[in-house]
Amino acid sequence: MTRASLRGRLVRLDLAMAATVLAVSVLSTLALDRLGGAVGLILRENYASVVACQEMNEALERQDSGALFVASGRVDVGAPMLTDYRAKFEVALATEARNVTLPGEGELVRTVQEGYRDYVVMADRVLARPIEQRSTGYFGELLPRFQKLKAAIAVIRDANQRNMVAADAEARRIAQRTRSLSVLAAAIALLLTGWLTIRFPRVIVDPIDTFTDRARAIGEGRFETKLELPDLSELRGLADALNRMQDKLRLYRESSLGELLAARDLSRATVAAMTDPVIVFGGRGDILLTNEAAEAVFGLTPGDRDEQRRLGIEPPERILAARDRVLADDKPLLPDSLSEAMQWTAAGGAERFFLVRASPLHVEESAGRGVIVVAEDVTRYRRIDALKSDVVATVSHELKTPLTSLRLATHMLLEASEGLSDLQRELASTACEETERLQRTVEELLDLVRIEREAGELHRELVEPRALLAEVERAHRALAAEKRVALVVDPEEVAPVSLDVEQIHILLGNLVSNAIRHTEPGGTVRLFAQRDAADVVLGVRDDGEGIAEEHLPHVFERHWTGAEPAQLRGRHGLGLAIAREIAERHGGNLEVTSQLGEGSTFTLRLPA
C-alpha cells in the first residue's frame, strides 16, 4: 500500500500560498508607485517654494529689526543684521525664482524682486539720515514698504500651499483606491487561508500535536505510553524514532551518570536561553562556554586562549578588562550608568552598545575559579537618551536668540528710563533680571547636554591649578566689575593635576558666577588652590549673603524649590547639579560650607 507523502502536500500548499502572495505584492507595488508619484509631485513642485518663502519672510523680518535698531541709534547691532539677512533674503529669492511652477507665479516673483529693490534703496536712504530723522523715516516710508513686501511673499507662499493641498487630495484618492484593492486582495487571501486552515490540521497538524504532547511527556520523565504510527511516511519515521528515543532515555535516566549529565545540560540550557551575549571564562582566561548571542555578536566560541589567539579570535577589550579585574579582585563588576556602555560595530556596520557585567564563579577547589560575563544590549536606551539630549539642545539653542534680544531690549529700556515711572522702572528691572536668569538656565542646559554626550570620556591633561583659576578669573572679570565685586586669585602655587580642563572650567565658572551674584557691591570673591594630604583642593569663597544650614543639603539638587529662601534663589538649579556631576566623574567631590550673613565656601577635592 502506497502511503501519502507529506512533501507532496506541502509543495502544493506552498504553490498556492506563493501565488496569493505574488498577486498581493504586484497590486501593492503598482499602487505604491502611483502614490509615490503623487507625493513626489508635492515635494518637487511646491515644497521648495514654501520653504523659500518662509526663509525670505524670516530674513525680511530680521532686516526690519536691524533697521529699527539703526533708527534707534544702535548701529553696532543693526548694521551687521542688515548685511547678513540681505544676503540670506537674496539667496532665498533666487531659489524661488528658479522654482516657478504655478501659473502667474513668475509675475508674483518679479513683484517681490522689484519691491525688495525698492525696500533696500529706501532703507539705505532713511538710515543714512541724521539720527533724529531716522525714526520718522522708518515709520513713514520704510515700514509700509516692509508690510507690502511681506504681503507679496505671503501670496506666493499661499498659492504654493493651496497647490500642495490639491496634490495631497489627489494622493488621498490614490490611497483610498489602494485601500480598496488591498481589502479585496486580503479577502481573497483570507478565504484561501480559511480553506487551508480547515484542511491542514486534519492532515498534518493533528499528528504533529500528538508528537508535541508526547515530547513534553518525555521531557517531564513520563515514558509509559508509545506513539501510534501515522499513515504519512515522513511522520511514520518520526514517530518510530521518538519511540526508540523514549526507550533509550528511560534506560539512561536509571543511571547516576544520566543525572550528572542532566545537571550539566540544564546549566548550559540556561546560558543558551539568555538573549544577551554570555561568556564564561576559566581561571586561565580560556573561554569555557558561550551562548548563541555571544557567537553571533562577537564571534566567540569555547576554546583554549592561546589557540583562539592564533586563529584571530579575541574578545572585545572591555570584556577582557572586566574578566581580568574580576579574576584579580574576586568581586562583581557592575556598571552604574549607560555612560559606561561599550560601543561595538557589528559585521553589517550597525553600531550597538553593551553594558558589561562580570561576576566571579566559585567552584570546587580542584576546578579553580572562573568568571561569567554578561553584555547587556542597551542600544535602544542609548538612542532614547541621545534623542532626549538632542531635544534639550535644540530647544535651548532656539531659546538663545529671542532671550538675547529680550535682554538687549530690557537693558536699552533701563538705560533710557528717564521718562518711566518708578513702577515701570521696577517692572523693567525685574524683566531684565528674569531674562538673565533664563539665559543662564539655557547655558546650563547646553553645558549639561555637552557633558552627557561626552559621558565617560574625560580628556585629561596636566594643568597648573593657579593658571586654571586665573583663566576663570579673566572670564568673569567683566561680570564682577559690573556688580562692583572684587575678584581675587590667591597666589599659592600647587603642583600640576590631571583633569579635563573644559569640564572643570564649567564647574568653576558656575561657582564663581553664583558667588558674584550673591555678593553685595564692595564684597570679595576669592579663588584658591591648595594641597590637602592626597588631594588637590580648588575653591571659591565669598563674603556675601550666605546660606542657612538647613538648606545646605539641597543646594546641589536639580531645580530644588522647597522653601526657596531669598539667599538660595538663583544659586540652585542646574548649575550646581552639573558641577557636582563633573566632580564625581573626576573621582572627586564638591562640598559647601556657609553661614548666613558671612558668605559661602565651595570646595572641589580632586585626587592628586
Tens digits of residue pLDDT in 34-54: 655 555 555 556 788 888 888
Give the model's confidence band at 423: pLDDT under 50 very low, under 70 low, under 90 confident, else very high: confident
Looking at per-residue pLDDT, the higher value among 122 and 533 belongs to 122
Can you list the pairs that 501-504 forms with residues at least 24 positions away whose Cβ atoms lie under 8 Å? Answer: 501/459, 501/461, 501/463, 501/468, 502/459, 503/451, 503/458, 503/582, 503/585, 503/586, 504/463, 504/468, 504/538, 504/582, 504/586, 504/604
Domains along the sequence of the chain with CATH: 6-190 (1.20.120.1730), 276-377 (3.30.450.20), 385-453 (1.10.287), 457-608 (3.30.565.10)
Nearest to 163 by CA among 81, 244, 46: 46
Looking at per-residue pLDDT, the higher value among 431 and 587 belongs to 587
Per-residue pLDDT of 325-375, as tens digits, reads 888 888 888 886 666 788 888 777 778 888 888 988 876 544 557 898 998
How many alpha carbons lie under 13 Å from residue 424 in its C-beta half-sphere? 9
Cα 229 from chain centre:
59
Q: Does residue 262 carry a pLDDT above 50? A: yes
Buried b (16+ CB within 10 A) or exposed e, 516-545: bbbbeeebbbbbbbeeeeebbbbbbbbbbb
Mean of pLDDT values over 463-475? 92
Lowest mean pLDDT segment, chosen from 39-53, 71-85, 425-439, 558-572 = 558-572
Give the model's confidence band at 205: pLDDT under 50 very low, under 70 low, under 90 confident, else very high: low
Looking at per-residue pLDDT, the higher value among 171 and 563 belongs to 171
Q: Does residue 13 carry a pLDDT above 70? A: no
Would you call 537 helix, strand, or coil by DSSP?
A: strand
Q: Does residue 102 carry a pLDDT above 90? A: no
What does the pLDDT read at residue 366? Answer: 43
Q: Does residue 486 carry a pLDDT above 90? A: yes
What does the pLDDT read at residue 26? Answer: 67
Give the model's confidence band at 17: pLDDT under 50 very low, under 70 low, under 90 confident, else very high: low
What does the pLDDT read at residue 566? Answer: 47
Give the model's confidence band at 563: pLDDT under 50 very low, under 70 low, under 90 confident, else very high: very low
Distance CA 354, CA 273 (A): 18
HEC profile of 276-320: CCEEEEECCCCEEEECHHHHHHHCCCCECHHHHHHCCCCCCHHHH
Q: Does residue 567 carry a pLDDT above 50? A: no
Give the model's confidence band at 522: pLDDT under 50 very low, under 70 low, under 90 confident, else very high: very high
What does the pLDDT read at residue 512? Answer: 93
What does the pLDDT read at residue 417? Answer: 63
> What does pLDDT average to over the chain?
77
What does the pLDDT read at residue 521? Answer: 92
Q: Does residue 309 carry a pLDDT above 50? A: yes
Would you call 398 helix, strand, or coil by DSSP?
A: helix
Give the model's confidence band at 603: pLDDT under 50 very low, under 70 low, under 90 confident, else very high: very high
